[in-house]
Amino acid sequence: MVKILLVEDNEMNRDMLSRRLRRNGYEVVIAIDGQQGVEMAAAESPDLILMDMSLPVIDGWEAARRVRENEATRRIPVIALTAHAMAGDREKAIEAGCDDYDTKPVEITRLLGKITALIESGA
């Protein structure tokens, strides 16, 4: 079973996304801030990380950089989830180490397509 680490501080978003991912056959582990996300990426070895970018403790941009800097986690695909939908935000997420980018509110079919594409590509 594919394991996804969901790093999300908003309880409503966390609950909605985790339920929908589980319904689609994914195992979901959850972190509620950027620091915990970095630590759980190393401890849980997920197949993919969904990273909110506006997080407490350390933000998603820094958490993505730290995931990429760690030899044990650097190959885990990361999808940035953010309400930031301005020109250049996608490039900023990629520059921070994310493999893809999706905007909130999440459109689950689109997000599942991105998850599948990254898992199948072995990114």
Give the number of domains in the chain.
Answer: 1
Query: Quick one: pLDDT at residue 50?
Result: 98
- What pLDDT does 61 receive? 93
Does the global pTM surpass 0.85?
yes
Q: How confident is the model at residue 32 (pLDDT cuts 50, 70, 90)?
A: very high
**Each residue's pLDDT tens digit, 85-109:** 777 888 888 998 999 999 989 999 9
- CA dihedral sign of residues 98, 113, 29, 59: positive
For the cut 70, the answer to whether the pLDDT of residue 123 exceeds it is no
Q: pLDDT above 70 covers what percent of the chain?
A: 99
Confidence category of residue 44, pLDDT binned at 50, 70, 90: very high
Q: Please give the residue range of the domain that contains residue 78.
A: 3-121
- Report the amino acid identity of residue 116: T
- Residue predicted with more confidence, 120 or 84: 120
Q: What is the mean pLDDT of residues 25-53?
A: 97
CATH number where 25 lies: 3.40.50.2300
pLDDT for 87: 75
